Amino acid sequence: MSAAGVFAVAFLFLVGIRAEENSSTEEFDVRPGGLEHSYSRSLGEYTCTFTYVAQGGTNEKWQMSVGVSEDDKLFSCSVWRPQGKSYLFFMQFRAAVTGGKIEFSEAYSQASADGRSDVPLKKSEYDVTDTAVFHRPGSFSSSLSKLVIVARSAHDEL
In a domain, 58, yes or no: yes
When pLDDT is averaged across residues 88-94 and rounded to a whole number, the result is: 97
pLDDT digits (tens, 9 = 90+) for 24-81: 999 999 999 999 999 999 999 999 999 999 999 899 999 999 999 999 999 999 999 9
In a domain, 25, yes or no: yes
- Domain region containing 31: 3-153
Domain count, the chain: 1
In a domain, 74, yes or no: yes
Q: Residue 118: which pLDDT band, with cuts at 50, 70 and 90?
A: confident
Least confident of 109-113, 123-127, 131-135, 144-148: 109-113
In a domain, 29, yes or no: yes
pLDDT at 115: 64
Most confident residue range from 20-29, 66-75, 81-90, 125-134: 125-134
In a domain, 33, yes or no: yes
Mark residue 44 as left, alpha or beta (left: phi above 0; alpha: psi -120 to 50; beta: remaining).
left
- Give the CA angle between residues 122, 41, 47 to the nearest 5°: 75
The pTM of this model reads 0.84
3-state secondary structure at position 155 = coil
Res 111 pLDDT > 90: no
Q: Residue 8: which pLDDT band, with cuts at 50, 70 and 90?
A: very low
- The set of residues, in sequence order, having a beta carbon less than 8 Å from that of 148 and lying 6+ positions away, is 76, 77, 78, 104, 105, 106, 107, 108
- The set of residues, in sequence order, having a beta carbon less than 8 Å from that of 59 and lying 6+ positions away, is 29, 30, 31, 32
Whole-angstrom CA distances from 25 to 62, 80, 127 are 10, 11, 25
